[in-house]
Each structure stands twice: as C-alpha cells, then as structure tokens.
Amino acid sequence: MPLLSAAMSRIQPSATAAVTKRAIELKAEGRDIISLGAGEPDFDTPDHVKEAAIAAIRAGQTKYTIVDGTAELKAAIRLKFRRDNGLDYAADEVTVNVGGKHTIFNALVATLDAGDEVIIPAPYWVSYPDIVQFCGARPVVLPCPAEAGYKLTPEQLDAAITPKTKWLILNSPSNPTGAAYSEKELRALAAVLLAHPHVFVLADDMYEHIVYDDFRFVTLAAAEPRLFERTLTVNGASKAYAMTGWRIGFAGGPKRIIQAIAKLQSQSTTNPCSIAQAAAAAALAGPQEFLKERARAFQERRDLVVSMLNQTEGLVCQRPQGAFYVYPDCHRLIGRTAPDGRTIGSDEDLASWFLDSEGVSLVHGGAFGLSPAFRISYATSPALLEEACRRLQRACAALQ
C-alpha cells in the first residue's frame, strides 16, 4: 500500500515558493542574488496595525476564537466590502481563514467532487490548478495571450462552460500579469454567466488596492448584482496592508458555502491566529489613505521596469493596470545559445540562465500556464530594480 495519498500525487510544490527558497540558499552561499521571485510587498505592516496586535496580546486575546472569525473582524470585513466594493454581506455571509490561499483551498475543497470542472484563465496564479486537482476535479485552463491583454473573452468563456462546470476563477488584478478587468469587461463576462446559472464564480480580488493610472477597480458581484448569489468574493490582508506573514484571508459569499467552509475549518486549522485577526480588523477598519501612496510608489516601479524591459534584446513587456508583477514575452530568445554553450529551449532555461549568469532570480512562465514568458515581481526598491534590469539586459544581449 503506498504511504502517500493519491491526492498528493496530483499536486506539485508551489513553483514560486521553490524559486524563493533557491534564491535564499544561493544568497547564504555568498552569491550576489537579486530576488524578483517573491509575491510580497517590500513595505512594512503599518504601525497602527502592529499596535493593535500588541494591544490584543496585552488584553489577553490569546485564546481560541469563533472558528471562522471574531465578531470584531467580521464587522470590519463587512465594512470593507460596503466601503470599497458596494457589497452588502450579512454577518453569516463572511468567513475568515488563514490567508487568502486558505480561503480558496477551503472553498474548493468544500464544493468540488471528482469530475467537476473549474475554468481557470491562463496565465494563472500557481495554486489554482493544483488545489482543483487536489480535490480530484479538473482544471479547464483557457489560454489568454498577450494579444488579448491576458484577459478572458466572453466567447472563450461561453465555449468552455459544460454541465460539469462548477466554478470560474477570475483574478483581477492578476498575478502573474497585472492585467485587470474593467467594469465593462466584467459585465460582458457576466452576460455569459447569467445564461449558465449552475456556474459559481470565485473572484480573487487580492490586489484590488494596487491599481494604476486612472484604472477603477470593480469586483464582479458589484458589476453584475445578479451574480451576487453565486459569487465568492475573496480578499485578504496580505498584499494591500503588507501583512503576508500574519496569514489573514477572507471572503463574502453564499451562506451555504460560508457555512461549509466553517465546518471544514473546524476540523483542520480551527480559527486563524487571534492576534492576527485583531491586527486585520485594525487594518480594514482603520485609515486607508496610505494605500493610494503605496500604489503610487508601485506605479513608479512599474514604469521603470516596463521601460527597461522594453529596451532589452528579445523581450516585449505590456504595461499592466495593477498588482506588482510584469510578465514579459520572451519568445524571440527561445532557441538562442548562451556563451557557455547551453541552448535556451524554454522559458525555464531562460530563468536558469538569468540566475546562473547574472544572479537574478525570477519565475518562468511555465509555472503560470502560459509560455514563453517570465514573471518579475517589482515589489522591491527602485535601485535594486534598475540593477536587476541592467543585469537582464546583459544576460539577454549575450544570447546568440
């Protein structure tokens, strides 16, 4: 009898976590590495959030809480959904989990059976297909190339829906491309979904506050209120409030799903950390002005990186509307030869070349389901980004 479950054979370790680990190991060996792999803001958690956590510890909020979130945090989440998204969720329509990844994991485990299908536009966030496969369900990956702005079209969606489709996962702004759907684009997708009432939508809004220029973020259930009843609106503290280590994710959605998530969570993690919940409540209910300042800082970095990448031999880079990633196309470099004799046969080979020749660590497009490309996280200082882009320019120019 095999030791490990069949479910384990259906998933891979997270590619982004693997790249980050490799960069840390090489740094520890003394190599000069610039890591553009990690998907987390370089900003610190705001002071008032840290203070709320310290106050919670001092007040003895160190015990188990209600499994799917304290009353205080749920109130802050409902306030956030009203204020930022115009969505009115009742107290029993919100859930709190151990990070947004856990929210998504819970929702999919609670709803998927073998044979169910989940539509995932590619490039996608690395965990979606693996979680779906873990559940024994089938990811239906729809390629959304650069020419389509890395976005799903209504025609593509309509053609992919079958009687077995349980979910569409829609992530805007996107990890890994930064592409974001306008209200008009969401309405066009919603028109398709309205004709297929058995399909639920998981709207992953993790990067909603990191948007640029005059882009106005709208979430699907607000763009089309008739989809409110079958949309799970997922968000979290990690990206907007620079709280990746605190592990708080949450969602608003249909009561039956919210209750199922609580039941599942009661048999796994129990409540998210009581102190992190107090901190997240302070983040969501407290001052929000700094979010715009941080988005402006990210926008300057986006402009720097996009401009330098587009001056790099063989690369073409779109200018994304949000998140802190760019996803340059590198098809012109595939098939070239490096000075050490290696052939660049794929975007994974190219990522290895960047790491070996110039010490720049990033994630190849294959991990996100659309090649040849790679993802750069520009959530690091402009000086480091400039140096990293210079190194990439050298590494690309060296390929014949």
Contact 98, 272 (CB under 8 A): yes
Out of 139, 249, 328, 359, name the contact with ligand PLP by CB under 6 A.
249
Q: Which stretch binds ligand PLP (CB under 6 A): 71-79, 98-106, 132-140, 254-262?
A: 98-106
Site for ligand PLP in 256-315 (CB under 6 A): none
Note whether 140 and 160 are within 8 A (CB).
Answer: yes
Nearer to ligand PLP, 204 or 224 (CB): 204
User: Which of 37, 46, 100, 322: binder of ligand PLP (CB under 6 A)?
Assistant: 100
Piece of 96-104, 208-216, 252-260, 281-289 that binds ligand PLP (CB under 6 A): 96-104
Looking at beta carbons only, is 37 or 100 nearer to ligand PLP? Answer: 100
The least CB distance from residue 281 to ligand PLP, in Å, is 16
Identify which range of 99-107, 110-118, 217-225, 331-339 contacts ligand PLP by CB under 6 A.
Answer: 99-107
- Are 399 and 344 a contacting pair, CB within 8 Å? yes
Question: Which alpha helices (H) appear in 59-152, and where do they start and end?
Answer: 71-85, 100-111, 127-134
Of 152 and 333, CB closest to ligand PLP: 152
* Contact string 141-180 vs ligand PLP (x = CB under 6 A): ------------------------------x---x-----
101 binds ligand PLP (CB under 6 A): yes
Examine residue 206 and tell whether it contacts ligand PLP (CB under 6 A). yes
Closer CB to ligand PLP, residue 206 or residue 355?
206
Under the criterion CB under 6 A, does residue 238 sit at the interface with ligand PLP? yes
| Among the listed residues 37, 46, 99, 253, the single contact to ligand PLP using CB under 6 A | 99
Q: Which is nearer to ligand PLP, 125 or 353 (CB)?
A: 125
Q: Could you tell me which stretch among 30-38, 94-102, 311-319, 351-359 binds ligand PLP (CB under 6 A)? A: 94-102
When binding is defined by CB under 6 A, the residue of 89, 105, 125, 250 that contacts ligand PLP is 125
Q: Which residue has 């740094």 as its token pair?
A: 27
Burial 96-106 (b: 16+ CB within 10 A, else e): bbbbbbbbbbb
| Helix spans in 201-254 (H) | 220-223
Which residue lies nearer to ligand PLP by CB, 325 or 353? 325
d(C-alpha 323, C-alpha 208), whole Å? 8
Burial code (b: 16+ CB inside 10 Å, e: under 16) for 301-319 equals bbeebbebbeebebbebbe
Task: Read off the tokens for 81.
Answer: 């959904």
For residues 305 and 20, what is the distance between their CA atoms, to the nearest angstrom?
Answer: 20
By DSSP bridging, strand 231-236 and strand 249-252 are antiparallel
Per DSSP, 138 falls in state E
Instruction: Tell me the per-residue interface mask from 9 to 38 with ligand PLP, x by CB under 6 A, - otherwise.
Output: ------------------------------
CA distance 343 to 334: 8
Question: To the nearest whole angstrom, how small is the minimum distance from the Cβ of residue 244 to ligand PLP?
Answer: 5
- Of 97-105, 106-114, 278-286, 288-296, the segment contacting ligand PLP by CB under 6 A is 97-105
* Under rule CB under 6 A, residue 78 binds ligand PLP: no
Lookup: tokens for 66: 């209600």
Give me the least distance between CB of 62 and ligand PLP, in Å please: 22
Q: Name the residue type at position 213.
A: D
Residue 262, CB-side half-sphere exposure with 13 Å CA sphere: 18
10 Å Cβ neighbour count for 368? Answer: 26
Q: Give buried/exposed letters for 261-277 (b at 16+ CB in 10 A, else e).
A: bbebbeeeeebbbbbbb
The DSSP symbol for 4 reads S
Q: Are 68 and 267 spatial neighbours (Cβ–Cβ below 8 Å)?
A: no
Number of residues that bind ligand PLP (CB under 6 A): 13
Residue 39 binding ligand PLP, by CB under 6 A? yes
Sites of contact with ligand PLP (CB under 6 A): 39, 99-101, 125, 171, 175, 204, 206, 236, 238, 244, 249
